Amino acid sequence: MLSEMYKKIVVATDGSENANKAAASAVEMAKMTGAKLFALNVLPYIPHLSYFGVPMEPPEAVSFEEKEYEARLEKDGKKILDVVRDMAEKAGVGVETVMVKGHPGSEIMNFAQKNDIDLIVMGTLGRSGIDRLLMGSVAEDVVRNAKTRVMIVK
């Protein structure tokens, strides 16, 4: 039975069209199974590089522009999560929104493991072209390495 299989579902969202399709699928799955739904947005971690290219982040070295950029990312992340919250509310599904900072694939898997998630739902998220070649696909990373079930929505 699906209701016994899925008690906690997380949908990873970056606000893209594919992520919104995944969110709609996750909402429907949560509605069918009665699972608790989490909407997760991962803010990219932007390390501050030293002269030698080594990541370091002394608080006094963060410029006003960087703080402003990070604040804008957080504001956008909240809007992205609000879209999923609205979808869930219209379907009569409760949802908990969560925002974390870090590498998307790692943070999605960490969240799933720490919260005993039964199913990760995600679209083929944001990156394409040279970014995908250099950074790897978030969805591919999660599919290959997650310790729980993963549903990819195209």
Q: Which domains does the chain have, with CATH numbers?
A: 2-153 (3.40.50.620)
Helix (H) or strand (E) holding 120: strand 119-123
Which has more confidence, 146 or 70? 146
CB crowding 100-132: b at 16 or more within 10 Å, else e: beebbbbbbbebbeeeebbbbbbbbbbbeeeee
* Distance (Å, whole) CA 6 – CA 13: 19
Question: φ, ψ for residue 150 (rounded to 5)?
Answer: -130, 130
Q: What is the pTM of this model?
A: 0.83
Residue that is written with structure tokens 């608080």 in the block: 59
Tell the burial category of 64 from Cβ atoms under 10 Å away from its Cβ (0-12, 13-18, 19+). Answer: exposed
Higher model confidence: residue 128 or residue 89? Answer: 89
Q: Is the pLDDT of residue 51 over 60?
A: no
The helices-and-strands tally (H runs, E runs) of the chain is 6, 7
Stronger pLDDT, 153 or 132, i.e. the higher one = 153
Fill in the amino acid letter for 22.
Answer: A
The token duo for 129 is 């072209």
